[in-house]
Structure 1
Amino acid sequence: MPRTTVNYVTSSKFKQEENEVFRRIITLPDGSPVDDIFDFRIRELSIPETLEVRIETMVTAEVKQAYATLKVPCIVEHAGLIFEDYRSHSYPGGLTKPMWNTLAANFIEETHSSGRKAAARAVVAYCDGMKVHTFEGETLGTISDQPRGARDFYWDTVFIPTDDNPEKLTYAEIVEAGASGIEKKIQLSQSTKAMLAFLTWRLTNEPDLWQITY
């Protein structure tokens, strides 16, 4: 049986690297390896990002633009930090990336976020040309007192996931911890949870039309 095509729109080398690991090590709820069922096609398309606190709103706009260009069903994924005190406002959410681009190492100081509880939230948006469907994943954690780790994938240097992380390493430090470091990050990642939610839905909610390989 042919694998189901997933057109993944991203120009990020980090997301491409993590997607390769994700599809190799992660299994679906029925125990099937992701790579046995889905054929991810990376589409390096640069899409202008909408400045929006709610990540769901942001990726919905982006995936519509991606579909309008590619003319095939596709996904866009975006992640950001949600400070616990501002959960009801989803802040900074979709603004995390431009804030990080501007503040960089001063992000913690300027946002007064050292030791602050936060959630890393990811949303995968899928457009089939008729509708947009969104899928969310979250990983709880805290913000470190300073950037730690050399892997410069935005705020990976300041986010400390809570679960299965007794040494309280940032995502960046987890990746650097050894040969299996990136695999552990993928297992903890909010993006993995969002992508799994999408793939689980995708298995049972698409017409045969979209089994066509593009």
Structure 2
Amino acid sequence: MMPEKPIFVTSNKNKLREAEAILGVKLDRAAPNVPELQSLDFAEVASAKARAARAALGDPNAPVIVDDSGLVVNAWNDFPGALTKWFLRSVGVSGLLKMLSAFPDRSARSVCVVAVSASSGEIHLFRGEVEGEIADAPRGAAGFGYDPVFVPNGHRRTYSEMGDEKHENSHRNRAFNALAVWLTAGRKG
């Protein structure tokens, strides 16, 4: 039986649009409520999420794609990492900036790991990272999460100030481009 169209598990329509643009294919979208492993390790979280999503969808004959992304602050020994969503929900960008104010090192990485659960159940991982630093104050109106304070190396603007330009070489773009190369090589299932 031929594999079905890949299913991207996300509740964020903007992530779906971005993933489809990078991959050059239409994806089915699903948003089952799946438990999310709590760990600083993006690959561990994305792998567990991909397995849980495949099970929640009834083990479809299609690749199931998930992503996990976040901010890694070097001065904090890679925290909040894969816990970024929960961290920002709790303290917000202003809390992040206040806590970081005691540290002279403002370097950070924006990380995305895409996990694909093949119809065989095998998990394939694709990682994208962008080095940068945390700005002193939020800037820009576009984006979400830590976009107003993350400045990629080689730039003066935050992800929020970049608008759609962010997507040209973002952490998510790098991870999904790695997936696109893998899919192009015919490893879809």
Task: Give the TM interval when normalised to the shorter protein.
Answer: 0.7 to 0.9
Asked if 1:94 is matched to 2:82, the reply is yes
Percent identical residues: 29
Q: Which residue of 1 is the match for residue 39 of structure 2?
A: 52
Contact 1:55–1:94 (CA under 8 A) maintained in structure 2: yes
Task: Give, as a single letter, the amino acid of the residue that structure 1 aligns with 2:126.
Answer: F
Aligned counterpart in structure 2 of residue 109 of structure 1, from 98, 101, 114: 98
Asked if 1:153 is matched to 2:144, the reply is yes
Task: Give, as a single letter, the amino acid of the residue that structure 1 aligns with 2:40.
Answer: V
Name stretches of at least 5 consecutive residues in structure 1 with no aligned partner: 27-33, 176-181
RMSD: 2.5
Matches within 5 A, 1:1-214: 5-20=5-20, 23=21, 26=22, 34-35=23-24, 38-70=25-57, 71-72=59-60, 73-85=63-75, 90-104=78-92, 105-112=94-101, 116-128=106-118, 129-151=120-142, 153-163=144-154, 165=155, 168-175=156-163, 182=164, 184-204=165-185, 206=187, 210=189
SS of 2:85 mapped into structure 1: helix
Task: Give, as a single letter, the amino acid of the residue that structure 1 aligns with 2:98.
Answer: E
Change (3 A) 1:152 1:204: closer
Task: Give, as a single letter, the amino acid of the residue that structure 2 aligns with 1:169.
Answer: R
Greater share of helix:
1
Change (3 A) 1:39 1:92: same
1:115, CA displacement in angstroms? 6.4
Q: How many residues align?
A: 182
Name stretches of at least 5 consecutive residues in structure 2 with no aligned partner: none
Change (3 A) 1:95 1:114: farther
1:17, CA displacement in angstroms? 4.1
Contact 1:10–1:46 (CA under 8 A) maintained in structure 2: no
SS of 1:136 mapped into structure 2: strand
TM-score by length of 1: 0.76
Deviations 1:96-146 (A, max 9, x none): 111111111221112446860111011000101421111101111110111
SS of 1:195 mapped into structure 2: helix
